[in-house]
């Protein structure tokens, strides 16, 4: 049985074409939007190379790093977030260790039960003040200077040189990273 008001074949073709055309226009519009947004991002975004980290970065409150504990913190560097290990010292200061193994640059982890930094790649091991104690690690972990600003611990983004056995001349202490004395190789 025929419907009461059949759509003529020509009209059906026209409306089908209109529907397909609408889809294409919609898809094209969406594509233009996506490409336009991507282009806008390329034009307006900074590359990682453009990122200049502040010299000092806040890593947490003083309470975050209790004396005797070594805990992870993050610095924002041009290459991305960078793990450091921050130890609360008994005198109320802090020591910030680079997480970069001095053998071949893998990331070392702090093992509280052993009180050591251990590199998972070749087993290089450092003691609690970052000195090498086992494995192929040639020199201590580098350190970042730290300071307290109000109630916040701040860490300098540039790691101090920390050559093995190299004492800081002004106070003759290898544990001291607070002064501006430049350690020599």
Interacting residue ranges for ligand FES, rule: CB under 6 A = 101, 103-104, 106, 119, 121-122, 124, 135-137
**Complete edge-to-edge strand list for the sheet that includes strand 56-61:** 56-61, 152-160, 143-149, 94-98, 80-88, 70-77
Between residues 124 and 140, which has the closer beta carbon with respect to ligand FES? 124
Instruction: Report CA 96 to chain centroid distance, whole Å.
Output: 15
Beta bridge partners of 160: 143
C-alpha span between 168 and 161 (Å, rounded): 11
3-state secondary structure of 21: helix
**Listed residue (93, 68, 62) closest to 178, CA to CA:** 93
Tokens of 111: 């093992």
Taking the complex as a whole, how short is the minimal distance between the CB of residue 113 and ligand FES, in angstroms? 20
Between residues 121 and 128, which has the closer beta carbon with respect to ligand FES? 121
Taking the complex as a whole, how short is the minimal distance between the CB of residue 59 and ligand FES, in angstroms? 24
Between residues 77 and 118, which has the closer beta carbon with respect to ligand FES? 118
Instruction: Report CA 34 to chain centroid distance, whole Å.
Output: 29
Taking the complex as a whole, how short is the minimal distance between the CB of residue 97 and ligand FES, in angstroms? 14
Between residues 162 and 168, which has the closer beta carbon with respect to ligand FES? 162
Taking the complex as a whole, how short is the minimal distance between the CB of residue 103 and ligand FES, in angstroms? 3
Taking the complex as a whole, how short is the minimal distance between the CB of residue 130 and ligand FES, in angstroms? 13
Tokens of 12: 């059906």
Between residues 60 and 136, which has the closer beta carbon with respect to ligand FES? 136
Nearest residue relative to ligand FES (C-beta): 124
């Amino acid at each position: 049985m025929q419907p009461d008001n059949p759509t003529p074949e020509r009209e059906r073709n026209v409306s089908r074409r209109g529907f397909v055309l609408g889809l294409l226009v919609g898809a094209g519009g969406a594509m233009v939007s996506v490409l336009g947004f991507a282009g806008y991002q390329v034009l307006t975004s900074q590359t990682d190379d453009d990122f200049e980290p502040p010299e000092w970065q806040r890593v947490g409150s003083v309470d975050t790093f209790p004396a005797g504990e070594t805990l992870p913190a993050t610095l924002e560097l041009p290459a991305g977030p960078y793990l450091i290990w921050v130890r609360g010292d008994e005198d109320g200061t802090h020591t910030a260790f680079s997480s970069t193994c001095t053998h071949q640059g893998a990331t070392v982890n702090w093992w509280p039960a052993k009180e050591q930094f251990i590199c998972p790649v070749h087993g290089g091991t450092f003691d609690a003040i970052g000195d090498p104690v086992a494995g192929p690690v040639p020199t201590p972990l580098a350190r970042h200077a730290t300071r307290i600003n109000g109630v916040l611990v701040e860490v300098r983004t540039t790691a101090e040189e920390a050559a093995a056995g190299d004492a800081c001349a002004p106070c003759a202490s290898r544990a001291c990273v607070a002064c501006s004395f430049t350690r020599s190789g």
